[in-house]
Structure 1
Amino acid sequence: MTKYREIIRLFNLGINQTGIASSCGCARKTVRDVVNRAKACNIIWPLPAETTDADLEKLLFPDKSVPKSDRKFPDYDYIDKEMLRSGVTLKLLWNEYCESCRQNRDIPLMYTQFCHHYQKYSDKKRATMHIPRKPGEQIEVDWAGKPAYIIDTDTGEMIPCHIFVGVLNYSLYAYVEAFLKMDLESWITAHIHMYQYFGGSTTMLIPDNLKTGVDKNDDWYTPKINKTYYEMAEYYDTAVLPARVKSPKDKPGVEGSVNVVTNWITAAIRNEKFFALEELNREIQIQLEKLNHKPFQKKDGSRHSVYLADEKPFLTPLPPAPYELSQWKKATVQFNYHIKC
C-alpha cells in the first residue's frame, strides 16, 4: 500500500516530490496526486496518531477504496456480441456501461478493470484460437495453385480446370468452383456464384494482384482495379482492396483455405474421372459441403455453424437480381463512322 502518511509528512517538511518519491518508493505522479488530493480535502500535518494509510486512502481516494464486490460488473456476453459489430469499441461500451450504472446508482468498474476482465473473458472463451476479424467484414478470393482435370471425350486429353476459392475470413466458410479459364468472365461469374452461396456480401473484398482483377500495379499501394470488377463491387456494395504484391499475410484466410481445398477437395477426387466441367463442379460441391461441416479440431463447431450463428446476420443483403457481366473495350472509329465490336 502507498505510504500516504509519510508522503504528507515529508511534504510538510518541504521535501520536493522527487525526494519524496525516492524515499517512499513510489512514482512522482503518485506523490503529486496524494498532495493535490490532500489539499483538496483539507488534510494537513500533523495527523491524528490513530490514522492509518488505509484510513487516508478512503479519505483521499474514496472510489479506489470501494471493494470490488460492491461494484457492478457488466454483462460480458453482451459486450462480446457488441464487439463483433462494425465501429464498436471497448471505450464506447464502457461509456454506455457507466451511464447505465449511474442511472441505477451502481458503482462501475474503472476502464482499465473493465478491459482487464473482458480480456480474461475473451481468453477463456476463445482459448484455442484468437480471431482478429469481425464477421461480415471481409471476403478473401484467389485462384488455387493446383488445378483439377477433366478428360476430353474425343482425344482423351487431360484438360486442366482452375479452382476459384472464396473465404469469409471470420468463420472461414468457403466457396469453391472450377473453371476452364482464368479470364475476366470466369472471375466475375465465380464472384456472382460465391455471393449467392454465402447469401450476402461483405464490406471489403480482398483479391490477389492478379490480372483478371487488377489492370495495373505500378503503384505498390494503389493498384488500378479492372473496370468491370469495380462495377461488380459497386453493384454488391463492397470495396475491392487488393493485397500487396508478395504479401500473403494480407489475405491469410484464403491462403490457408487454398491449402485446405487442395488437400481436402482436389486430393479427394484425384482418382475420379470427369468428362465435363459440370460433373467436376457437382463433385466439388459435395466435397465442399463436407469441408464446411467438418468439426474444428481445437474448438467447438464448424465453419458452417460459425457462419450461421456469427457471420450471416452481419452480411450485406444481396440485390434483387444477380450482377450481369459487361465488357469494356476501346475501338477506333473508321472513316465511314463504323466501329468493330
Structure 2
Amino acid sequence: MSKEKEILHRFFKGESQRSIAAVLRVSRNTVAKVVKACHEHPLDAAALDGMDLAALHHHLFPAEADLPGQVQPDYEFIHKELLKSGVTLKLLWEEYAADCRQANKLYFMYSQFCKRYRDFVDHHHLTMHIHHKPAERLMVDWAGTTLKLYNPETGAVTKAYLFVATLPFSMYCYAEACRDMKEHSWIQAHIHLMEFLGGSARLLVSDNLRTGIISHRKHEDPIANRSYQEFADHYGMALLPARVLAPKDKAAVEGSVGQVTTHIIAKLRNRKFFDLYEMNQAIQEELYRFNEAPFQKKDGSRSSIFHMEECPFLRPLPQCPYEYADWKKATVQLNYHITVDHQNYSVPYEYVRKRVDVRLTSHVVEIYTEGRRIANHKRIVGKRGQYSTVEEHMPKNHQLYSQWDGNRFRRWSEKCGEHVHTVIERLLASYRVEEQAYKGCLALLKLSDQYGIPRLNTACELALRQVPSPRYKLIQNILVTQQDIKIEQPAAHSQNAFVRGAAYYGGEYHGK
C-alpha cells in the first residue's frame, strides 16, 4: 500500500514494470497487480497527485474496502505494559494476535504493529520510555568538579568530592559531598542514596573505578569489589558496570553530572563551608530545586515523573540498612587467634596456620574460610593488644586451664593444709601478673593425687625452710627422694635406763 503511488507515478512516466520493481525493490507481481487495477479503475496523473495513500488504495481495490478491517491495538495500554520488566513489543504483539485469532478477527502483522506504535509514541512525545524502563537502572558516578571545605581553625582548604546518581527513566537525581573518593565514602553515599529514593533499582550501573570494580576485561564478566558486591546483594541489585571507555553506557548520569555542576556546584561556589554536614544541607536544598524544575520540552519535572510513574516500580528496601564492612586476610596463629587492627580474636583451634577472610564492621568481626563463617566477635576498641576468646575455640586441655583463677587455687590449697596454702599464696604473689602463676599452682596441687595430701603438706613445710617462695620443682624433688618421710623423730626413753640421782651430783657420796 505504501508504494502504490510511486509505482503509478513511474508507470505514467513510461518506465517498464521490470525496472519499476527493481528500483522500488518490490516484486514484479506487485507492480503488475497495481497496473492491472489502474486499468480496471482508470486514473490519470493529476488525480493521482491529489489522492492520499488510503484513498488511492480504496480506488484501486474497492473490493477490499468491504472486507472487515484489522483490529486496532490499544497502544496506550501497550505503552504502559512496556514499562514493566521483561515486557517487549514482540510479546505484546503475540498476545494481540492470539486475541484476534480467538475472536476470528484480522490483525496487523508485526512490522505494521511496530510502525503504528512508533507513530503513537512520536505523536504523544513519549520516546524516552522506549529506551528506559522505570526503576530498571540506577546510574552512579563522581562529579569531576570538586567543592571547597575550609578548616575553621587554620583556614586550610580541602577538597570535597560530589557523588551523583540518576534514574534514567525520570532523570531524578541525588547528590552528596564526601571527604574523599575511597571505598568507605563510596559505599556510604550509596546507602544514603537508597534512603533518599526509598527503594532500589534492578541494575546498578557504575564506572570502572577501583572502589567498585576490580577488573572488567573484554569478553569476561566484571569482578566487583567484595564490599560493593555485598552492598548490591543486600539491596537485591545486580552490578552492571559500563564498558571500559564507553561513557554512553551511562549517558544519563554523565549528563546529570554536567547539569548538577551548573545547578548546584556553580550556585554554591561563593559560599564558605566549614563542615561537611552544612555543605550537604545546602546541596540538598539546591538538589530539591533542581528535581522540581519543570522540563523545557515536555510536561512535568524529574520529581513529578519519579513519584507518579517510577516510584511504584522501585524494589522495597530491606528491613535493616546495609552496614559497611571491610574485608581483610589473616593467618590463624599457634595460639588459635588472629590479629586484625592490632586486636586479637579467637578461631577454632583446628584452623591453626590457615588463611582466613575477616569481615569487619564498626561493631562486629566475622571470620570466614571457604565462604563459611567459623567465628564472630564483638569488635574490640581502645587499647591495642586486647583479646577476645571464646572458650569453645580452645582445645580441651586449654579449656580446663582457662576455668581457673587465683581464688580457686587458694580455696583448693586450704583443703590441703597450712603449708600448701602458704606456698600457693607466695607463688601467686611472686609474679607481676597473677595469671603467670596458674600453671605452676595447678602442677603443684596435682602432686596430691600422686603422693597424698599429708606428704604434700610436709614437703611444702620442708621447702619453706629452705627458700621463702618454693617452686614446683623443689617440692617435687622432696617427694621423689622421700625427704618428707626421713625427718628424724625424737629418741624414745627406755624403761630400764640408769639414771643418776641427786646424791651423785653433790650428795652424801660426793666427798668419797
TM norm. shorter chain > 0.5: yes
- CA distance in 2 between counterparts of 1:30 and 1:114 reads 26
Partners of 2:148 and 2:160 within 8 A in 1: yes
Please state if 1:296 is matched with 2:298: no
* Structure of greater Rg: 2
Equivalent residues in 2 for 1:32-71, closer than 5 Å: 65-66=64-65, 70-71=69-70
Partners of 1:221 and 1:244 within 8 A in 2: no
> Which residue of 2 is the match for residue 76 of structure 1?
75
User: Cα–Cα, structure 1 residues 318 and 99, in superposed 2: closer, same or farther, change >3 Å?
Assistant: same
DSSP 3-state at the match of 1:177:
strand
> Which residue of 1 is the match for residue 351 of structure 2?
none
> Which residue of 1 is the match for residue 153 of structure 2?
154
> Which residue of 2 is the match for residue 324 of structure 1?
323
Deviations 1:303-340 (A, max 9, x none): 11111222112211111121111111012334444322
Give the structure, 1 or 2, with the largest relative contact order (CA under 8 Å, sep 6 or more): 1
User: Cα–Cα, structure 1 residues 24 and 257, in superposed 2: closer, same or farther, change >3 Å?
Assistant: closer
Partners of 1:139 and 1:169 within 8 A in 2: yes
Please state if 1:257 is matched with 2:236: no
> Which residue of 1 is the match for residue 143 of structure 2?
144
Structure 2 residue identity aligned to 1:145 = G
Structure 2 residue identity aligned to 1:207 = S
DSSP 3-state at the match of 1:269:
coil
- CA distance in 1 between counterparts of 2:220 and 2:282 reads 39
Equivalent residues in 2 for 1:1-341, closer than 5 Å: 22=18, 25=21, 31=29, 65-66=64-65, 70-126=69-125, 132-217=131-216, 221-341=220-340
The offset of 1:183, in angstroms, is 1.3
Farther-moved stretch of structure 1 (301-310 vs 169-178): 301-310
Partners of 1:206 and 1:242 within 8 A in 2: yes
The offset of 1:78, in angstroms, is 0.6
Partners of 2:129 and 2:169 within 8 A in 1: no
The offset of 1:65, in angstroms, is 3.0
Farther-moved stretch of structure 1 (140-149 vs 22-31): 22-31
DSSP 3-state at the match of 2:329:
coil
User: Cα–Cα, structure 1 residues 147 and 98, in superposed 2: closer, same or farther, change >3 Å?
Assistant: same
The offset of 1:203, in angstroms, is 1.1
Deviations 1:80-118 (A, max 9, x none): 111111221222212222333345554323332222211
Structure 1 residue identity aligned to 2:271 = E
Structure 2 residue identity aligned to 1:136 = A
Partners of 1:215 and 1:226 within 8 A in 2: yes
Partners of 1:294 and 1:302 within 8 A in 2: yes
- CA distance in 2 between counterparts of 1:259 and 1:131 reads 24
Partners of 2:18 and 2:28 within 8 A in 1: no
Q: Which runs of 5+ in 2 are unaligned?
A: 5-16, 33-38, 42-60, 341-512
The offset of 1:72, in angstroms, is 2.3
- CA distance in 2 between counterparts of 1:292 and 1:24 reads 55
- CA distance in 2 between counterparts of 1:80 and 1:182 reads 40
- CA distance in 2 between counterparts of 1:113 and 1:28 reads 17
- CA distance in 1 between counterparts of 2:19 and 2:173 reads 63
Structure 2 residue identity aligned to 1:262 = T
Structure 1 residue identity aligned to 2:253 = V
The offset of 1:130, in angstroms, is 7.1
- CA distance in 2 between counterparts of 1:24 and 1:272 reads 71
User: Cα–Cα, structure 1 residues 220 and 102, in superposed 2: closer, same or farther, change >3 Å?
Assistant: closer
DSSP 3-state at the match of 1:251:
helix
Structure 2 residue identity aligned to 1:242 = P
> Which residue of 2 is the match for residue 14 of structure 1?
none
- Pairs aligned (count): 303
- CA distance in 2 between counterparts of 1:23 and 1:275 reads 79
DSSP 3-state at the match of 2:245:
coil
Structure 2 residue identity aligned to 1:81 = K
Partners of 1:274 and 1:280 within 8 A in 2: yes
Partners of 1:293 and 1:304 within 8 A in 2: yes
- CA distance in 2 between counterparts of 1:70 and 1:28 reads 24
DSSP 3-state at the match of 1:260:
helix
The offset of 1:207, in angstroms, is 0.7
Structure 2 residue identity aligned to 1:117 = R
- CA distance in 2 between counterparts of 1:328 and 1:281 reads 29
- CA distance in 2 between counterparts of 1:111 and 1:126 reads 22
Structure 1 residue identity aligned to 2:184 = E
The offset of 1:52, in angstroms, is 5.4
User: Cα–Cα, structure 1 residues 83 and 23, in superposed 2: closer, same or farther, change >3 Å?
Assistant: same
User: Cα–Cα, structure 1 residues 284 and 67, in superposed 2: closer, same or farther, change >3 Å?
Assistant: farther
User: Alignment RMSD, CA only?
Assistant: 3.2
The offset of 1:70, in angstroms, is 3.3
Q: Which runs of 5+ in 1 are unaligned?
A: 4-20, 35-50, 54-61
Deviations 1:204-233 (A, max 9, x none): 101111111012345574332001110111
> Which residue of 2 is the match for residue 40 of structure 1?
none
Seq. identity, %: 46
DSSP 3-state at the match of 1:65:
helix
The TM-score, its normalising length taken from structure 2, stands at 0.54
> Which residue of 1 is the match for residue 435 of structure 2?
none
Deviations 1:177-199 (A, max 9, x none): 11112111111111111111112
The offset of 1:245, in angstroms, is 2.0
Partners of 1:220 and 1:245 within 8 A in 2: no
The offset of 1:162, in angstroms, is 0.8
User: Cα–Cα, structure 1 residues 107 and 219, in superposed 2: closer, same or farther, change >3 Å?
Assistant: closer
DSSP 3-state at the match of 1:140:
strand
User: Cα–Cα, structure 1 residues 323 and 129, in superposed 2: closer, same or farther, change >3 Å?
Assistant: closer
Partners of 2:128 and 2:169 within 8 A in 1: no
